[in-house]
Chain A
């Protein structure tokens, strides 16, 4: 602050450089070595001027006018920071709508891609399941047709098939000629044994 405070004798009659400020202030700029410079005027405006400077301003109409300009300018500058900028509501709504459109456009491909993937996966699953079901079903029925020994039609020949044939023989149920496994022309206990031996064979081709 000491740097800015000058002795009245020095500042009043020995002014600094010519003022290079805005045009409005330039018109009220005091004449060199007769009036207060801008720094002194600003100190007076802020209430920090020396008593000699204050007395000069009171006596000098030109410096008083310059001080008033300076006060007005300072007031305008201070009011700029407090003033809020009013945005028209129509413009506000238009910007918001445009932003929403952009956001929706950015999201749309991802959702669409996900739906496509889900659809493709579901279709693949259905086709695979159907194919598997058909394959297994056809294999079982083919095996049953080709392999008359699979009496219980479970896809393999084991002791339970021999047991099933033995039960049929025991119960007197109808017998099919294709169960004549030993080829002796009769479906009987020998065929049950044949079937049982087949089920425990270590060399047989497993279904």
Chain B
């Protein structure tokens, strides 16, 4: 009987140590905005990085405008990491201008943590390929458990 109780106790204790690591995390989308001002945005390339080593990229999707609705180019190796480069272009006649949400990055973060995200513009071009000035802004939205 004592042996049976000890075995049950051992199973109970070890089962606690094997809890899945996903517990205690949350998922949060990061909207990536590019503001090219009055210039039409024909191409962009942006680097997004998280300040927290616990934050991981789990998905990438396109933005709000029709020209950038498809998911941008990215390296699949960036998934499960905290840094990614995204890029897209459009050959359509009238690319969007002004502040445009070009992509959404889905992040997995530690519950309760508020990691900061930085964005760096690597390239932006107007129709024809001429370089333009633009601002990039990563905007985290409300997370879901």
Contact = CB atoms under 8 A, between A and B. Distances in A.
A196 interface: yes
Interface in A160-199: 160, 162-164, 166-167, 170, 193, 196-197, 199
A196 B129 contact: no
Given A170-B91, A199-B45, A158 B75 contact: no
Contacts of A203: 75, 77
A199 B89 contact: no
Contacts of B89: 159-160, 162-163, 166, 196
Contacts, number: 67
A200 to B, nearest CB: 4
Q: How many of chain A's residues touch chain B, expressed as a range?
A: 10 to 19
Chain A residues touching B, majority SS: helix
**Range of interface residues on chain B?**
20 to 34
A160 B78 contact: no
21 contacts: A158-B45, A158-B122, A158-B123, A159-B43, A159-B73, A159-B88, A159-B89, A159-B125, A160-B89, A163-B43, A164-B129, A166-B89, A167-B128, A167-B129, A170-B91, A200-B72, A200-B74, A201-B85, A202-B77, A202-B83, A203-B77
